[in-house]
Homo-oligomer: A and B are copies of this chain.
Amino acid sequence: MENRIEKIKKQLHSQSYKLTPQREATVRVLLEHEEDHLSAEDVYLLVKEKSPEIGLATVYRTLELLSELKVVDKINFGDGVSRYDLRKEGAEHFHHHLVCVECGSVKEIEEDLLGHVEKTVESQWEFQVKDHRLTFHGICKNCQSEHD
């Protein structure tokens, strides 16, 4: 944890941003909820528990900043809000998601899986791939068993 924060601090400094108390509190919440997909409001409420004086606008600005630095990825599952997802430690690309259309659960896939597909895209479509967003919609393991 402290280790990850140190790294993020250095990333901020390298672009001459500071790790303010508000930013640190926000990062801590993100680290403590790494599996989740929190909205700005969600993050705000969680940060407020430990740092009640923080403002919602600051959380928004911090998340935007972390997004520019690629510390988090901003994603959208189609409900009306943006969600913020920490990059996995040392990950080159954004990870994938499995969204269950029955129960709404979201599972993560950290394996890349797209190496071959990206090579095809680069050669067939002459498009130089930098990153990807992949989400599968379907029935999760749980909901499958409940069905029959």
* Residues A138 and B128 in contact in the complex (CB < 8 Å), given A113-B117, A120-B113, A121-B98: yes
Q: Report the nearest B residue to A67, measured CB to CB.
A: B78
Measured in the bound complex, the distance between the Cα atoms of B120 and A120 in whole Å is 18
Q: Are B127 and A133 in contact (CB under 8 A)?
A: no
Q: Are A136 and B140 in contact (CB under 8 A)?
A: no
Q: Are A121 and B109 in contact (CB under 8 A)?
A: yes
Copies in the complex: 2
For A, the interface residue count at a CB cutoff of 8 angstroms equals 33
Measured in the bound complex, the distance between the Cα atoms of B109 and A125 in whole Å is 9
Partner of A127, one of B114, B127, B128, B141: B141
* Residues A138 and B133 in contact in the complex (CB < 8 Å), given A76-B78, A114-B117: no
In the complex, which residues of chain B have a beta carbon less than 8 angstroms from the beta carbon of A76? 76, 78
Q: Are B136 and A135 in contact (CB under 8 A)?
A: no
Q: Report the nearest B residue to A80, measured CB to CB.
A: B82
> Is there a chain B Cβ closer than 8 Å to A132's Cβ?
yes
> Is there a chain B Cβ closer than 8 Å to A36's Cβ?
no
* A interface, CB within 8 angstroms of B: 74, 76, 78, 98, 100-101, 107, 109, 113-114, 116-118, 120-121, 125-141, 144
Which 4 A-B residue pairs are closest in the complex by CB-CB distance?
Answer: A128-B139, A130-B138, A129-B138, A126-B141
